[in-house]
Structure 1
């Protein structure tokens, strides 16, 4: 019963979260920071009340280690936010972030001196080809949609390249963060809920540097049209309603994946979240009319087939120091950075 309930939470929470995120960024593409701040604040307050016991509970892992992890976590979140404002469409954002497997393997080879099976290399090759196809076709769309002015077209393409660079940097930084987290868990044990709380609470002071941007978007949100919230009958600006629902659905998504990782195998979790991603992608394309060609679909299939292949067969050459586990429910570079705010390391 609990696994079925968890799957329901994952699909309801994560899919809904992507919808409200896209509603937000389509109206204000640069609103990522205020969305991230709201999500971090919500999870931090909840964790302070129920996990940290109002600050009375001492962390199992020393704070100095969390500080290092949080610096990387905060950087990944902010960089991914800005990528959405650099001519990066939401479908490409979702597909490109599936390249976390590639980043994890590269850093695993370079830093941890890992070696993998041919099956693993084949699956990563499929993911790489799929991302390349989608990225290449998106580059063509960026230049074709620009105006007849060559300077405007070149400028749009440069901003798109910067967005791809930002996503690539965030992927590598996220993989490095996973390796660091893995070493901490080996030393101090696995404390999922604690890590989830500190990963969201400690970065909050960093939003001071983004205060002006957050304030500007709060003003824009206040100016949006009023929306009558069903059931409660309260009217509030529609952008605040979208933000509230984004935060709530993210929390539902996180809880769903957390339950799933405690009740099911890593493969089951990966299958559920991969299917969730695919359904979210289809909905984004059909409902929001995001441009998606047959080449994009081909690349998407390569990405998801490669991802499933990677998790299907265990690799003995990775044990016991393999890549961050697929059932790790603590690293959630959630926020707009992760259209999948599920707290699972392998996912995004």
Structure 2
């Protein structure tokens, strides 16, 4: 019962999280740092109460080792959420992040001296082409995501394109830092063993002081959030600022998403985890396109198909499913 519930929570939590994120970004494109801080604070608070039992449980992985991991996690998280302030539409953001396998392979070759099969190289090539196609097409029609203020001058296409380029750079930096973080996690797990709950807690707790550098930006968008239009909360029957409601929804669903993925990684084989996460990303993308009516041309679809097909090939999803089915059929015959 726990596994089906976790799978359901991954789809519900992660997909709903994307919805709340897009609602937030449409309401205030510059709220990325506020979103990141809120997520970190909530997960750190929960970890302090539950995982560390109010600080009484000592970490099994050294704090010094965590600091390296934390610095990478902080930068990648801030870059990913801050990119929305640079004219990056949600579908492109999701497609770009789905290309993490590219960075993983490149760093795996450079740092770990790994060698891959032809199918792996082919899949990464497909993912790369898919992202390039989507990026080029999106770059051909860049629009400012900033709300127009009465006293501000309208931006020019070149202004919008310049900020969009910076957004692409932010996403690229985040992609490679996340990949490097994954490699470092492998090193830590090999040295200390897997302590996913603890890692989740400390990677969200230790970066909190770093948000001091973003205080003015976070405060500015907190004020905007508090002063946003009031909205009635379903069921409860109270009203609160719209952006605050979206932010609460985003934080809670982010927590549900992370916790559910954690349960899957500890309870299920990698095949199940990969399949669920891949499907979740695809459903989130489709929902973003349909519900929010984001511009999505035939070229975007070609790029999307390349990215997700490449991901399926890289993770060897089809052979693993076939192997799993064959194993289960043999088991039934034996019985």
- TM-score, normalised relative to structure 1: 0.86
Structure 1: distance between partners of 2:307 and 2:262 = 24
Residue of structure 2 equivalent to 1:104: 104
Q: Deviation at 1:143?
A: 7.6
1:228 counterpart residue number:
232
2 CA distance for matches of 1:293 and 1:190? 43
Aligned-residue offset at 1:133? 0.8
Q: Does 1:119 align with 2:119?
A: yes
Partner in structure 2 of residue 340 of structure 1: none
Q: Does 1:191 align with 2:195?
A: yes
Report if aligned partners of 1:92, 1:135 keep a CA contact under 8 Å in 2.
Answer: yes
Q: Distance in 1 between matches of 2:156 and 2:25?
A: 22
Aligned positions, number: 310
* Residue aligning to 2:308: 304
Contact 2:312 2:318 in 1 (8 A): no
8 Å CA contact retained: 1:72, 1:174 = yes
- 1:66-105, Cα deviation, whole Å (9 max, x unpaired): 0111011111111122211111101000001111100000
Alpha-carbon offset, residue 314 of structure 1 = 11
What does 1:10-25 correspond to in 2, within 5 Å?
Answer: 10-25=10-25
Which residue is equivalent to 2:213? 209
CA distance in 2, matches of 1:228, 1:132: 42
Offset from partner CA, 1:137-168 (integer Å, 9 cap, x none): 111112899xxxxx922222121111111111
CA distance in 1 between counterparts of 2:126 and 2:135 reads 14
CA distance in 1, matches of 2:48, 2:143: 48
Residues 221/103 of structure 1: CA separation in 2 closer, same or farther (3 Å cut): same
Aligned to 1:177: 181
Which region of structure 1 is more displaced relative to structure 2, 72-81 or 103-112? 72-81
Partners of 2:233 and 2:144 in 1: CA distance: 40
Which ranges in structure 1 are unaligned for 5 or more consecutive residues?
146-150, 316-348
Contact (CA 8 Å) 1:107, 1:175: kept in 2 or not? Answer: yes
Deviations 1:294-345 (A, max 9, x none): 1100100110011011111699xxxxxxxxxxxxxxxxxxxxxxxxxxxxxx
2:255 is the counterpart of 1:251: yes
Question: Structure 1 residues 291-300 or 224-233, which shifts more?
Answer: 224-233
Deviation at 1:283, TM superposition (A): 1.0
Structure 1 residues 239-263: Cα deviation after superposition (integer angstroms, max 9, x where no partner): 1111111111111111221222222
1:292 maps to 2:296: yes
Using the alignment, how far apart are the partners of 1:110 and 1:221 within structure 2?
43
Residue aligning to 2:30: 30
- Partners in 1 of 2:22 and 2:227 — Cα distance? 19
Q: Distance in 1 between matches of 2:293 and 2:232?
A: 26
Q: TM-score, normalised by structure 2?
A: 0.89
CA distance 1:101–1:36, shift in 2 (3 Å): same
2:323 aligned partner = none
Q: Distance in 2 between matches of 1:162 and 1:144?
A: 13
Q: Which runs of 5+ in 2 are unaligned?
A: 146-154, 320-335
1:81 maps to which residue? 81
Decide which moves more: 232-241 or 104-113: 232-241
Q: 1:153 to 1:230 in 2, by over 3 A?
A: closer
Task: Find the aligned partners of 2:302 and 2:318 in 1 and give their Cα distance.
Answer: 26
Distance in 2, Cα, partners of 1:109 & 1:122: 15
Aligned-pair distance for 1:185? 0.9
Distance 1:239 1:156 in 2: 25
Kindly name which structure, 1 or 2, has the bigger radius of gyration based on alpha carbons: 2
1:3 is aligned to: 3
1:68 aligned residue: 68
